[in-house]
A and B are shown apart, each in its own frame.
Chain A
């Protein structure tokens, strides 16, 4: 009897052990499936979040490309991505292709998104009539180059799409080795050259402005009728949208500049020397129209620079420059060293797009991308 009981007991224990192992195995498999399901969701989250981030970046800077695979740690996983120019499959339409893989715990979600540039959102304000537009006499000297031909966001030439080199309500005095280039009304490009003052293919001087030259940045962008009542740009700058900043002392600026950077200097004050590294709309203005930016010695700026009084551009500006004051403080000399002002429609559009009052499309930024196809 005792022996039989031991056998039954041992048999029971063996059976229990086997079943327990079986349970454990099934539980482990079920847990594995749950983890796999979670990983699947999480890799998709990583992938889609990265696409959103990239589209926002692309919306803020249409020239943004990532031609070799880049990796970013995101949501406890990894995103691998590229952004490149492409043709929409089976068409000849130029688009931007965003390829992203979201990787989490061994699970990968891939997506390809085709987007088009938000060119319809940004605009070139009509008062921007040249690479440099002013309400006062302009003197160029040294090695300053003012090129009204169109350029892309990187400063590469785009043929037959530009504007004048300089437009002013007063005079143009071209001195030294300074050069001016342009695209005339007929769309013909003129390479930068010396001694072109008075040549209407390059510059227009002593012009009149119907209704009076704009005396504020908001009026320059079109004023109330175009959605820019007085104070709009200052308000955007104060909101911090897209990295916008509002300061009365340039020492408090953060770099690179982006969005709308509004520097409201006390009457007659200047910002010198000025590092203008960044993009967007850079405004140096006060209600007396005598805020000065002087000795722009460092940093490349891409976008629209609007200042009451601009003196000595010694760096590169891709976009356009507009001077507001009728009475410049320092001999009208807009540049006397080595500086480049390269007109760029795209840079101006990118800058003004950030100020438009919202738009549809994808991305988190004020300016958004138009998605054409999304393969996930």
Chain B
């Protein structure tokens, strides 16, 4: 009985610990993403979003409010970029600032953007390949799923970061 109790407690402890790590990943990466997305188009007079597809977004903004327009791009890398993660679905999420080297902001199993027009209708990704289509974007849904690197009972504990962001500078 004691052994079973000990096993159960250890198992729960592992799950809690893993879940906590995923939560921290989700919140920290989510905050970085949010910080940037809210500023899309700040002080930009021309095209504000350069790339908008399901796993990549590239936009312009004076992100640090220094009167210089910056370019920011979010995208995912390959599984092979994370050789130490046993989770087969893990991919690195990168943030590229201007021409700097991309920085990894987290490892996610799902990283997805959806785009909506002023009436809240989701825009087809195919329509976003041209400037006029991207000009219709008024809000962006970001979904990031973080899972533990190690499975427990064959299950990877996960946390979703799901946020619909309405960058003010896209709306006037």
Q: Which residues of A contact B (CB under 8 A)?
A: 8, 12, 15-16, 19, 22-23, 26, 29-30, 33, 36-37, 40, 89-90, 112-113, 361-362, 370-376
Q: Contacts A26-B20, A376-B39; is A371 near B13 (CB within 8 Å)?
A: no
- Cβ A33 vs Cβ B43 within 8 A: no
Within 8 Å by CB of B43, from A89, A362, A376, lies A89
Check A90/B67 contact, CB under 8 A, given A373-B42, A374-B168.
Answer: yes
Chain A residues whose CB sits within 8 angstroms of the CB of B6 once the complex forms:
12, 15
Docked-complex contact A23 and B27, CB < 8 angstroms: no
**Residue contact A29 to B20, C-beta cutoff 8 Å:** yes
- A37 touching B27 by the CB < 8 A rule? yes
Q: Contact check, A371 vs B168: say whether CB atoms are below 8 A apart.
A: yes
Nearest CB of chain A from residue B78's CB, rounded to whole Å: 30
Bound form: Cα–Cα A40–B165 in Å: 14
5 closest residue pairs by CB, A with B: A374-B168, A90-B67, A371-B172, A376-B38, A19-B9
A370 proximity list for chain B (CB < 8 A): 172
What's the interface size class on B, roughly? 20 to 34
B residues in contact (CB < 8 Å) with A: 2, 5-6, 9, 12-13, 16-17, 20, 23-24, 27, 31, 38-39, 42-43, 62, 65, 67, 168-169, 172
A201 to B2, CA, bound (A): 105
Q: Are B16 and A26 in contact (CB under 8 A)?
A: yes
Residue of B nearest to A360 (CB): B172
A33: chain B residues at CB < 8 Å are: 23-24, 27
Are B38 and A30 in contact (CB-based, < 8 A)?
no
Output the residue of A12, A29, A372, A373 with the most chain B CB within 10 A: A373
14 other A-B residue contacts (CB within 8 Å) besides A26-B20, A373-B42: A8-B2, A15-B9, A19-B12, A29-B20, A40-B31, A89-B43, A90-B43, A112-B65, A113-B168, A361-B172, A370-B172, A371-B172, A372-B172, A373-B169
The winner among A30, A112, A113 for most chain B CB atoms within 10 A is: A30
A373 in contact with B20 (CB, 8 Å): no
Give Cα distance in the complex from A282 to B171, angstroms.
Answer: 35
Identify 7 residue pairs between A and B in the complex whose beta-carbon atoms are under 8 Å apart, listed by A's number. A29-B20, A30-B20, A33-B23, A33-B27, A370-B172, A371-B168, A374-B172
- Name A23's contact: one of B2, B13, B42, B43 (CB within 8 Å): B13
Q: Which residues of A contact B42 (CB under 8 A)?
A: 373-375
Q: Are B2 and A12 in contact (CB under 8 A)?
A: yes
In the bound complex, CA of A16 to CA of B13 (Å): 11
A16 touches B9 (CB 8 A): yes
CA distance A8 to B67 in the complex (A): 68
Query: Is B27 a contact of A373 with CB atoms below 8 Å?
Result: no
In the complex the two chains form, what is the Cα distance from A112 to B23 in whole Å? 31
- Determine the chain B residues whose CB is within 8 A of the CB of A362 once the complex forms: 172
Shortest C-beta distance, B4 to chain A (Å), equals 11
**Residues on A with beta carbons closer than 8 Å to the beta carbon of B2:** 8, 12
Closest residue of A by beta carbon distance from B6: A15
- The listed residue with most B CB atoms (<10 A of its CB), out of A12, A19, A90, A112, is A19
In the complex, what residues of B have CB within 8 A of residue A23's CB? 12-13, 16
On chain A, the residues within 8 Å of B67 by CB distance are: 89-90
Shortest CB distance B142–A (Å): 15
Nearest Cβ on chain A to B106's Cβ, whole angstroms: 15
Nearest chain A CB to B152 CB, angstrom units: 15
Interface centre among A22, A30, A362, A376 (most CB of B within 10 A): A376
Bound form: Cα–Cα A355–B160 in Å: 48
Closest to B66 in A: A89
Q: Whole-angstrom distance between the alpha carbons of A15 and B6 in the complex?
A: 8
Given the known interface contacts A29-B20, A33-B24, A375-B65, the answer about A12 and B43 at a Cβ–Cβ threshold of 8 Å is: no
Known: A371-B168, A373-B169, A376-B168. A12 touches B39 (CB 8 A): no
Query: Which residues from B are CB-within-8-Å of A376?
Result: 38-39, 168
CB distance from B165 to the nearest CB of A (A): 10
Chain B residues closer than 8 Å to A371, beta-carbon distance? 168, 172
List the B side residues contacting A113 at CB < 8 Å: 168
Q: Verify B169–A374 contact, CB threshold 8 A.
A: yes
Contacts of B27 in A (CB 8 A): 33, 36-37
Q: How far is the CB of B146 from chain A (nearest CB, A)?
A: 13
A360 to B24 alpha-carbon distance, docked (Å): 41
B98: min CB distance to chain A, Å: 18
- Residues on A with beta carbons closer than 8 Å to the beta carbon of B24: 33
How distant is A21 from chain B, measured CB to nearest CB, in Å?
Answer: 11
Distance from B5 Cβ to chain A, minimum over Cβ atoms (Å): 7
Report the minimal beta-carbon distance from B62 to chain A, rounded to whole angstroms.
8
Q: Chain B residues near A22 (CB, 8 Å)?
A: 13, 16
**Contact B39 A375, beta carbon cutoff 8 Å:** yes
In the docked arrangement, what's the CA distance between A348 and B87, Å? 68
Contacting residues, chain A, for B62 (C-beta < 8 A): 375
